Structure 1
């Protein structure tokens, strides 16, 4: 599908839009176009299962994803919110390959219409978003600069959604690190943290700790609080 002519790509998007538009919210997406996508997804998942290397799996997903773009565009333009296992699987793959902007587009649609992940995933979509985006930031797969933009969007999307406290705590921790441009916050680099960034990050660290006492931010809070005290302390008076 990645090499279709413009005319055929237009037709593919139109078929996707028709299938999505004809499938009401709360029901399964139906139609031959969706069945074709399910068949393709099953074949691609079989290819991925044959690979042991995580790095190679990610490379293959990056190669495969453009082949689904017409389906994505069609569903997002005309979909009424019917359950779509293709779309929700692609949401996970987009995070895996670092296409965070596309992942957020799919996530917004999925959360708005209360879509669920396929059976092989053991989490709901809000929990998956918090876990996977936070892990991408904390592992270094997502740069702090991108995290400062993307992670607040994930927070906004998942606000008020039921999810484990540990997942939400991890997301707050990841955003705090992104704001500080530090991961982790070590004794030998905390002195480099700017006071303005610390003021932004500390509330997220406190929130993370309130949600999960084992999230691992107690030392961070202590170091950053001490750093702030040093920067705001009045200069010592000289003796006459």
Structure 2
């Protein structure tokens, strides 16, 4: 069985022996090549905590590209280096860095590679919700912007501006409500009620009942 360390060494050797001059390659081609190698390493790692640890190390080589594209104000919809690195930022719990990039990716109508088999918006909001539920830090301002984006509707059609699964909207709102319970019970209640409107099985009915009693008292 190939260990993560051995897989990393093999990837480095492959990069050195491959018919690609990384030093001479264009920045994006070089990042694409490195991303392929990093994905191979991640595929060889079975443990989720180890995958996250590996991503924390790997992400550093992609941060400059994320910052450069974001600063430019424009992105190619098919820039899978950007979207993959963005999802890794969320995976490692760096939500404060990921949030503005997520908003940017949505505005630029970016897409993930076929390996994910899901829409980028669904992936981002669900993974951010899971990180929030696990205790990851995110400023109230960033959380509010994401919540507003997720729940906004077109005044003419009545349809949501973002085409996202209702279960994911509910999951995200529930996670935000859990964060708000102690500091702002009224806000938590409002978030839970919105979550329940999107999905009756999101698991907030008891929380709503308890908060109503608390606010009434």
TM bin (shorter chain): 0.7 to 0.9
Query: Bigger radius of gyration, 1 or 2?
Result: 1
The separation in 2 between residues aligned to 1:199 and 1:156, in whole angstroms, is 17
What residue number does 2:178 align with? 177
Of residues 61, 66, 70 in structure 2, which corresponds to 1:76?
Answer: 70
Of residues 63, 71, 86 in structure 1, which corresponds to 2:81?
Answer: 86
Of residues 91, 100, 104 in structure 2, which corresponds to 1:105?
Answer: 100
What residue number does 1:59 align with? 53
What residue number does 1:33 align with? 27
Please state if 1:117 is matched with 2:128. no
TM superposition score normalised by structure 2: 0.77
What residue number does 2:145 align with? 153
The separation in 1 between residues aligned to 2:37 and 2:144, in whole angstroms, is 35
Spell out, residue by residue over 1:116-145, the C-alpha distance to the aligned partner (whole angstroms, 9 max, x if none).
01111132222122211111122x2415xx
What residue number does 2:128 align with? 133
Give the conservation status (yes or no) of the 8 Å contact 1:209–1:215: yes
SS of 1:120's equivalent in the other structure is helix
Task: Show structure 1 runs of 5+ residues with no match.
Answer: 1-30, 182-193, 232-240
Task: Show structure 2 runs of 5+ residues with no match.
Answer: 1-24, 153-160
Spell out, residue by residue over 1:42-86, the C-alpha distance to the aligned partner (whole angstroms, 9 max, x if none).
001101111111111111111111112222222222363212000
Spell out, residue by residue over 1:141-165, the C-alpha distance to the aligned partner (whole angstroms, 9 max, x if none).
415xx36454323223444201111
Matches within 5 A, 1:196-207: 197-207=184-194
Give the conservation status (yes or no) of the 8 Å contact 2:96–2:139: no
Q: How well do the aligned residues superpose, as a CA RMSD in angstroms?
A: 1.9
Of residues 222, 227, 230 in structure 1, which corresponds to 2:209?
Answer: 222
The separation in 1 between residues aligned to 2:143 and 2:117, in whole angstroms, is 22
Give the conservation status (yes or no) of the 8 Å contact 1:148–1:179: no
Q: How many residues are matched?
A: 183
TM superposition score normalised by structure 1: 0.70
